[in-house]
Amino acid sequence: QVHLVESGGGLVQPGGSLRLSCVASGRTFGTGFMGWFRQAPGKAREFVATISRSGGSTEYLDSVKGRFSISRDNAKNTVYLQMNSLQPEDTAVYYCAAQVTPTMALLTLMTLANKYDYWGQGTQVTVSS
């Protein structure tokens, strides 16, 4: 019902920056929280950041606080993840996710992958010298 496409990944040196974008298409009416998750080789998918529909509430993985910033432009059906001071430990496939169910959601609960209804295919971020 909702199609999410990530872009903006690539190879960057430690200390560098990237901005990821995720564009939603299809039946985007009712989209609530949108989030970013990542998965490194051999590791489980982990929460990175989430943002409410209005953009007024955000939450981040502790290790990216102060370095990453999530934002959204609802007129463009797009969510962004600005990543600064990238480290090799940030290397992973980054996935965009969207919540479209009408269920009331608490910010802290939106760190859970199973709270999201649709997922993109991911974009690779590699941080290496």
Mean pLDDT of the chain: 94
Positive or negative torsion for Cα 102, 56, 72, 111: negative
For the chain, the straight-line distance linking the first and the last C-alpha, in angstroms and rounded, comes to 40
| pLDDT tens for each residue of 116-126 | 999 999 999 99
Nearest in space to 20 (alpha carbons), one of 31, 12, 28: 12
Instruction: Calculate the CA dihedral of residues 26, 29, 30, 34 and round it to 10 degrees.
Output: 50
Give the helix, strand, coil percentages of the chain, each rounded to 5: 15, 45, 40
**Pairing assessment for the beta strands 78-83 and 18-26 based on DSSP bridges:** antiparallel
Q: What is the per-residue pLDDT across 36-79, written as a single tens digit (0 to 9) for each? A: 999 999 999 999 999 999 999 999 999 999 999 999 999 999 99
